[in-house]
Amino acid sequence: MKIRFDLEEDDVSVLQNKTVHADYYLDSYLEVFIIENNKEILLFSTTIHSTIIITFSQQLLELYQTGKKLILDTFGNANVYTFKKAGNNVFITNFSVFSNSEEWQYTFEFKAFLKAYTKGLRQHLQNLIGKDANIVKRPDFILLREKLMNLEEVVHRK
């Protein structure tokens, strides 16, 4: 299983705008795909991906620690994503609010899912540094890097 992040990176001029007081470094369009057996499945998409990735990373840590079901709110579409850990597996369900029905459910080995996720997140952070080295000082980047390190510790635990 692989996770692929598609990031819209057309215009970075707002990053240099000193009159903007919000953290725009990580805010653009994001789609996250799962690729398994050469089949690509859209996991979620959002327009405020720094927030969603920070939240999602924290929720994955909580899922590992507590096993409690989590619901991911992507803020950018009419789908509800539920993650449930049972044993060594994670069950991901996509419920469409628009059609009022479950569209799909997938099961993945939990640590394999985390490993793929952390690989994608690490690449994403490296790409951001490549665009602007000063990003390492931004609060969203710092939080993402911390979550990445925490998730990688889980992946490497026996």
CATH number at residue 144: 3.30.2450
For the stretch 95-125, pLDDT in tens is 988 899 998 898 999 999 999 899 888 888 8
Q: Which of 57, 63, 70, 58 is nearest to 3 (CA)?
A: 57
Write down the mean pLDDT value for the chain.
83
CA distance readout (Å), 84 to 77, 93, 111, 145: 21, 9, 13, 24
Q: Are 119 and 35 in contact (CB under 8 A)?
A: no
Full domain range(s) for residue 65: 2-156
Number of domains in the chain: 1
Report the predicted TM-score, pTM, of the whole model to 2 decimal places.
0.83
Residue 95 DSSP SS3: strand
Which H helix or E strand runs over 70? strand 70-72
Class of residue 113 by CB neighbours under 10 A (exposed 0-12, middle 13-18, buried 19+): buried
CA distance readout (Å), 31 to 7, 41, 111: 7, 10, 22
- Provide the pLDDT for residue 15: 53
Give 149 or 126, the one with higher predicted confidence: 149
* 107/93 Cα distance (integer angstroms): 9
Per-residue confidence band for 11, with pLDDT thresholds at 50, 70 and 90: very low
Return the amino acid letter for 14: V
